[in-house]
Amino acid sequence: MTVTAKDLSVEQAVDQVTLTIDGIEVSVPKGTLVIRAAERLGIAIPRFCDHPLLDPVGACRECMVEVPDMGNGRGMPKPQASCTLEAMPGMKISTQLSSPVAAKAQSGMLEFLLINHPLDCPICDKGGECPLQNQAMSNGRGESRYGGVKRTFPKPVPISAQVLLDRERCVLCARCTRFSEQISGDPFIALVERGALQQVGVYAEQPYDSYFSGNVIQICPVGALTSSDYRFQARPFDLVSTTTSCEHCAAGCELRTDHRHYQVKRRMAGEAPEVNEEWNCDVGRFAFVSGRLTDRLTMPLLREDGVLRPASWPEAVDAAVAGLKAAGTEVGVLTGGRLTMEAAYAYQRFARTVLGTNNIDFRARVASAEEEQFLASTVAGVRLDDSVTYGDLERAGKVVLVGLEPEEECPIIFLRLRKAVRKRKLRVVAVAPRLSNGNAKLSATLVPTAPAGETAAIADLTDVDAGTVVLLGERLAGVPGALSAAVALAERTGARLAWVPRRAGEVGAVEAGCLPSLLPGGRLVSDGVARVDTGSAWGVASLPSGPGLDVNGMLGAASDETLKALVVAGAEIGDFADPVSARDAFEHVGFLVSIENRLSDIAVRADVVFPAALLEETTGTFLDWEHRPRPVARVNKGLRSPMTDIRILAALADAMGSDLGVRNARQAAAELGELTGWDGARAEAPAFPGADDSITPDGLRLATWRELIDDSRRNDGADDLMETAPPPVARLSTATAARAGITDGEPVTVGTARGQLTYLALLDDTVVDGVVWIPSRAPGRNVAETLGARAGDPVTAKEGFQS
Amino acid sequence: MTDLLTPVLTKNWGDEKSWTLRAYEKSGGYDALRKALTMTPDEVTGVVKDSGLRGRGGAGFPTGMKWSFVPKDNPNPKYLVVNGDESEPGTCKDIPLMLASPHTLVEGVIISSYAIGVHTAFIYIRGEVLHVVRRMQQAVAEAREAGYLGTNILDSGFDLEIVVHAGAGAYICGEETALLDSLEGLRGQPRLRPPFPAVAGLYASPTVINNVESIASVPSIIARGKDWFGSMGTEKSKGFTIYSLSGHVANPGQFEAPLGITLRELLELAGGVREGHELKFFTPGGSSTPILTAEHLDLPLDYEGMAGAGSMLGTKALQIFDETTSVVRTTLRWVEFYKHESCGKCTPCREGTWWLVQLLRDFEAGTAREGDIETMLDLCDNIGGRSFCALADGAVACVTSAVKYFRSEFEAGYRTPAWELLPYELSARFSVPATTGAHV
């Protein structure tokens, strides 16, 4: 991506120092390490422990250079580790290229590193992409002089379900332990023992419990840390690597996806300094097999005599067209959060120009009219240059989190905030019903707020100014007045707002116009000028002008059969605000078309099912929460279903005697590109009142949100990943527990009139009194479905198992 | 000959219950503290600086100058940490000092803390010497009871608490930054410098770290003045110090003498080399200092004299070895120690000592191969000056110096086991059954 002007100005503000490396002058910002100054000249000094995003440690001693002049006319008597040496003005450095002493120090160090290394490269996952292998060739001796006994260990030992440790291969660079301590803040691994027996160890009573554990595999400079998932799956030189973007959340991580034989073997964090730097989360890394399970759809299905049977494409298209034509404009389109911006664009165009309705909504989750107005006024049509970015978070004076748990809902925001907390002492404030582990790692100040109390809490926030960034989670759609209060806060104080949805496709869907009131690029359906402008771009005479139904309206209308047909893509019944009423809607709607990758609980109720290509088989763009375009590249060309969402919609349009106008992602992107930069009317900011948020003295209120690793179809098949899912616990304060007769560590059953769910009680005094927190989708426990309750609703809690 | 001795630190060691407060006060103890409290802190620092006292832990850095590096404007508390992690093979001065006269150290800590502006001081003691830890704790408790510690010490308005901390058994914790990690409750491994401890040491606060003997020398300097102190020793190495003689010497023990005394003089004080034998080699200051031989008997044992001979004064732990000793075996034992004590943080020390031990075992067993001496020296070159801290420099110093002076003995290791060349039972101080193999 382009480097913004803001970033440049920061860099230029730093003093520059000029030094000479191997006779070549180079200027670098003050504080730059010599090893990195050398990189600017293209001089690669070998290294193992050095990592640009970790604090220097100087442990491996591989990067030795000679320092004939420290910049004060005096040289250093001994070679120095260039990874811990700051560049000084006038300094002279001789690397292995010009100093025999440095070259000997480096080759000597490599010889030492290899004496206790097993040299089992032919069976090592790292073989072929191993810094130790590479540098042994470039900077080491051809043959070892060591004839002694090597240190041996049993191998491998698991440090978590996903990460295996081979201690024999470890060069003790401490990258993994530094990552865990400095970056993710999960110091569950540490170096133990001493001398040559020093090794990475885990705390016996606590597993290596981190959402970011996969990164230690990637930054291990040898094959000591391997992935249980990828172990022995492929040789690096047999893999084909594709740079793409992660589809699992709105963080926008760049990915390097490696495949072989038309099957993805592993995913690694890509290098995107402005977005995910070089990290990603374990879901992004390990959850990629759900599309190759037995429920993958590869051909259309058609309901006949009440049963779905495989059908040919023409047969299925004809059946879908017949059903949709019969429904006329009494039809709705629901798209979930998995779609690329281009696909979302195609769906809304399909709804508006082919079906002739504004009944379209991407929000297969808690949604409100207030949120729709907020998205239309504050999120839609915003360009990257005008929006809050990761860099802005890092430079902010203060960051306020409302309805958002970054570590659970957008892990890269968590990492970036933690970096700023650590390096710049950024202050983080969390408006939440409890201080989560993630926010504790951000040293966040908790504004204790019972669910539904966010609206008042936002209004009451003090010490907010233009240097403050307020991050708003999608959960606020369920809190009347909260988004309105946030907009008012921003207007009053100059603070900047950013909306952080959970899913990767949501910002793109807003931009594409997948909302009943919104056309592409922030245009309003209610604005005649915008309709004409959009209609002319699409080559249609007119666009439907009537107000469309949002997700709640469509599900209600489907239940009472005033809506005759639904087209659904990328959604699960369990995702909706109330899965029970959503199921009712899908069962009652007269005609249901499902466009899916896998046989879903909506697809099994559909009249026609179309198999859509997986994301890894298609191209497109996600907009991350910053509104930064994140390109999705086709990874896998061995297609099991040749039809993308866009192709399917185009085929339906053709068969209906209409024209979708676009037939692939490239065309959709081009057309959407023409519709950006709208300077006409925009939606008004929402100004909704808050609801009564008082807690009845004896009542108990539900707090809940989704965790990163939980019951999600994206995680299907990633068994090792799921083993690291947080345990199902119900958190409540000691006082609340005492009142309800609940004991720490005992089973506790949370219930409503609809149903009950059992968790283990965890007393946590950061939880607001009168509130019980449970995870929304712990494996096997869907709170919305079983309890029919959302955050803020009254619940009961009692010790013991469900009756 | 005995007038060569200058007992100051060791003067009261023979007194009745010398470790008690009562005995210490009887011999003038804590008078120096009273005097110091009438001076300004800067005046105390000035006297120590002008006295020329240099660090007795081995490096010889001027003590007063170290104190003056502590930034005055840092808002964090300042700490004094006394390094009593005496673990070097051969070194035995701080432990007997703390055992015989713990109050000398306590008084030194109070005066030094007053000078630096410290209100919490730590005495870090090697964990294996539990009796010394207990004795120091007892002394601190006694001093506190008597009003020498706590708040408003002797009505001066100065407050100080001393924490006696036991290490957990790692030689590396004598390295000052590893000591700080250990004191903070972490694994003892050396820290990256900068920042230096004077700026960000214990708990990221300005910290002065001094050896036990250095701090224990302070009360006498305050009591009797810099000129008295400077009248002893040599031009650049002033004052008295404790030399520890061990090994093949008639009367091993601690000898307190002015810096610059020679080993020949010290040996005369100690009754000479074991009867019927002659000096073969010695360490001037513990196993980390390159060995010297009989040709160095008349060199002054001070910082400059030892540096001039290619060695170091170190801790003044003179290990004496007579002609029956196998230098190969001795070197192996030392390097085994360093291998065992390498903390593992950096490659050359961790892997290099692992390798050196295996090579030296070959030399000892007479199974080394032609060229192994050159390989060993090359490894030493790749270890020394390449490591994170000075532990590895100490580990190779004994190897390179042993080869320098006794190369032929290593060459013999190509063919002959060391125990055949120099039967081990002959070098034993007490008679032991004859052995036929190594490592008995």
Residue-wise pLDDT for A501-518, tens only, equals 999 999 999 999 999 999
CA distance B380 to A624: 55
Is the CB of B320 inside 8 Å of chain A's CB atoms?
A: no
Which of A59, A196, A197 lies at the smallest CB-CB distance from B388?
A59
With a cut of 70, say whether residue B440 has pLDDT above it: no
Distance from CA of A171 to the nearest CA of B (A): 8
- What are the φ and ψ backbone dihedral angles of B41, each rounded to 5 degrees? -55, -40
Which of A58, A84, A198 lies at the smallest CB-CB distance from B350?
A198
Name every residue in A having a CB less than 8 A away from some CB of B: 56-62, 64, 77-79, 84, 104-105, 108-109, 111-113, 115-116, 145-146, 148-149, 151, 171-172, 190-198
With a cut of 80, say whether residue A569 has pLDDT above it: yes
Which of A79, A104, A195 lies at the smallest CB-CB distance from B339?
A195
Phi-psi region of A201 (alpha: psi -120 to 50; beta: other; left: phi over 0): beta
pTM of the complete model: 0.95
CA distances from A486 to A386, A454, A459, A495 (A): 18, 10, 8, 10
CB A336 within 8 A of CB A595: no
Can you give the pLDDT at residue A187? 87
Can you give the pLDDT at residue A396? 97
Residue A190's beta-bridge partner residues?
A201
CA distance A709 to A752: 25
How many CB atoms lie under 10 A from the CB of residue B41? Answer: 18
Can you give the pLDDT at residue B23? 97
Q: Where are the beta strands (DSSP E) in B197-278?
A: 207-211, 240-247, 253-258
With a cut of 50, say whether residue B1 has pLDDT above it: no
Q: Report, as an integer, the average pLDDT of B291-313.
A: 96
CB A588 within 8 A of CB A563: no
CB A771 within 8 A of CB A703: yes
Cβ contact A61–B381 (<8 Å): no
Cβ contact B358–A194 (<8 Å): no
CB A36 within 8 A of CB A21: no
The predicted-structure confidence for A663-687, as pLDDT tens digits, reads as follows 999 999 999 999 998 999 999 999 9
CA distances from A263 to A256, A288, A611, A638, B175 (A): 14, 10, 19, 8, 53
CB A192 within 8 A of CB A174: no
The predicted-structure confidence for B244-293, as pLDDT tens digits, reads as follows 999 999 999 999 999 999 999 999 999 999 999 999 999 999 999 999 99
Cβ contact B343–A195 (<8 Å): yes
CB A332 within 8 A of CB A359: yes
Is the CB of B283 inside 8 Å of chain A's CB atoms?
A: no
Q: Which residue of B has its CA nearest to A109?
A: B348
Which of A112, A145, A171 lies at the smallest CB-CB distance from B375?
A145
Percentage with pLDDT > 90 across chain B: 95
Can you give the pLDDT at residue B438? 46
Selected residue of A49, A99, A112, A116 to mutate for chain B interface (largest B Cβ count, 10 A) = A112
Cβ contact A60–B388 (<8 Å): no
The predicted-structure confidence for A149-190, as pLDDT tens digits, reads as follows 999 999 899 999 999 999 999 999 999 999 999 999 998 899
Q: Which residues contact A606 (CB under 8 A, 6 or more apart)?
A: A301, A303, A308, A568, A592, A593, A594
- What are the φ and ψ backbone dihedral angles of A438, each rounded to 5 degrees? -60, -45
Q: Which residue of A has its CA nearest to B391?
A: A195
Can you give the pLDDT at residue A697? 63
Cβ contact A196–B346 (<8 Å): no
> How would residue A9 be classed by pLDDT, with cut points 50, 70 and 90?
very low
Q: Which token pair is B171?
A: 């030689």
DSSP state of A598: B
Q: Which residue of A has its CA nearest to B169?
A: A194
Cβ contact B346–A113 (<8 Å): no
Sheet hosting strand A163-165, strand order edge to edge? A157-158, A163-165, A225-227
Is the CB of B367 inside 8 Å of chain A's CB atoms?
A: no
Distance from CA of A617 to the nearest CA of B (A): 46
Is the CB of B371 inside 8 Å of chain A's CB atoms?
A: no
Q: Average model confidence (pLDDT) for chain A? A: 95
Distance from CA of A108 to the nearest CA of B (A): 6
CA distance B341 to A404: 49
Three-state DSSP at A447 gives strand
Distance from CA of B365 to the nearest CA of A (A): 14
Cβ contact A109–B348 (<8 Å): yes
DSSP state of B154: G
Q: Which residues contact A789 (CB under 8 A, 6 or more apart)?
A: A702, A752, A754, A783, A795
Distance from CA of B120 to the nearest CA of A (A): 28
With a cut of 50, say whether residue B120 has pLDDT above it: yes
Q: Which residues contact A58 (CB under 8 A, 6 or more apart)?
A: A49, A81, A83, A84, B192, B346, B388
Three-state DSSP at B85 gives coil
Can you give the pLDDT at residue A639? 78
CA distance A386 to B223: 72
> How would residue A640 be classed by pLDDT, with cut points 50, 70 and 90?
confident
What is the ipTM score, two decimals? 0.95
CB A223 within 8 A of CB A122: no
CB B337 within 8 A of CB B287: yes
Q: Report, as an integer, the average pLDDT of A355-383.
A: 97
CA distance A78 to B385: 6
Q: Which residue of A has its CA nearest to B387?
A: A61
> How would residue A3 be classed by pLDDT, with cut points 50, 70 and 90?
very low
Q: Which token pair is A81?
A: 């580790």
Three-state DSSP at A296 gives strand
CB A517 within 8 A of CB A546: no
Cβ contact B385–A77 (<8 Å): yes
Q: Are strands A16-21 and A92-94 parallel, antiparallel or unpaired?
A: parallel
Three-state DSSP at A293 gives coil
Is the CB of B346 inside 8 Å of chain A's CB atoms?
A: yes
CB B322 within 8 A of CB B276: no
For residue A775, give the nearest of A715, A708, A718, A728 by alpha carbon: A728
With a cut of 60, say whether residue B2 has pLDDT above it: no
Can you give the pLDDT at residue A6? 45
Can you give the pLDDT at residue A203? 82
Q: How many CB pairs under 8 A join A and B?
A: 98
CA distance A603 to A595: 8
Cβ contact A195–B375 (<8 Å): no
Can you give the pLDDT at residue B431? 64
Q: Average model confidence (pLDDT) for chain B? A: 95
Q: Which residue of A has its CA nearest to B380?
A: A108
Distance from CA of B356 to the nearest CA of A (A): 10
